[in-house]
Structure 1
Amino acid sequence: MTAAVAAAGVLLAVQASVPAQASSSSRFTLDSDPILFVHGYNGDAGNWNTMADRFRADGWPSSHLRQWTYDSRQSNTVTAQQLSTEVDRLLAATGATGVDIVSHSMGGLSSRYYLKNLDGTSKADAWVSLGGPNHGTDTANSCFDVSCTEMRTGSSFLTALNSGDETPGSPRYATWWSPCDTVINPDSSVSLSGAVNTRTACLSHMGLLTDATVYAQTRDMINR
Structure 2
Amino acid sequence: MNARWQQAVVIFNLLATIAWLAWQWPRSPLMALAGVAAALALFGLVLGLQFVTMLRVNRSDPAPRPSWRQLASAWLAEARLALVVFGWRQPFRHSAVPDWLPPLAPGQRATRRGVVLVHGFLCNRGFWLPWMAALRERGHAYVAVTLEPAFGSMDDYAATVDGAVQRVTEATGMAPVVVGHSMGGLVARAWLRSLAPDTAAARMHRVITLGTPHGGTWAGRFSRSVNGQQMALGGDWVQQLQQDEPAARAARFICWYSNCDNIVFPAGTAMLLGADNRLVEGVAHMQMAFDPAVMGACLEEIARG
Task: Tell me which residue corresponds to 1:99.
Answer: 176
Task: Tell me which residue corresponds to 1:161.
Answer: 241
Q: 1:198 to 1:158 in 2, by over 3 A?
A: same
1:32 partner SS:
coil
> Is 1:75 the equivalent of 2:147?
no
Number of corresponding residues: 192
Task: Tell me which residue corresponds to 1:112.
Answer: 189
Q: If each structure's helix is expressed as a fraction of its own residues, which one has the higher value?
A: 2
Task: Give every structure 1 segment of 4 or more consecutive aligned residues whose post-TM-superposition deviation is greater than 3 Å.
Answer: 164-171
Picking from 166, 175, 181, the partner of 2:255 is: 175
Give TM-score scaled by structure 2 length.
0.59
> Is 1:60 the equivalent of 2:139?
yes
Shift of 1:165: 4.9
CA contact (8 A) 2:113 2:172 kept: no
Q: If each structure's strand is expressed as a fraction of its own residues, which one has the higher value?
A: 1
CA contact (8 A) 1:167 1:173 kept: no
> Is 1:88 the equivalent of 2:157?
no
- RMSD between superposed Cα atoms in Å: 2.0
Distance 1:165 1:208 in 2: 26
Picking from 281, 287, 292, the partner of 1:201 is: 281
CA contact (8 A) 2:250 2:273 kept: no
Distance 1:167 1:203 in 2: 30
Picking from 170, 184, 195, the partner of 2:264 is: 184
Unaligned stretches of 5+ in structure 1? 1-28
Give TM-score scaled by structure 1 length.
0.79
Cα deviations across residues 130-157 of structure 1 (Å, max 9, x unaligned)?
0001000011111111111000023221
Distance 2:212 2:290 in 1: 16
Unaligned stretches of 5+ in structure 2? 1-108
Task: Tell me which residue corresponds to 1:151.
Answer: 231
Aligned sequence identity (%): 24
Picking from 130, 136, 140, the partner of 1:50 is: 130
CA contact (8 A) 2:250 2:272 kept: no
> Is 1:131 the equivalent of 2:208?
no
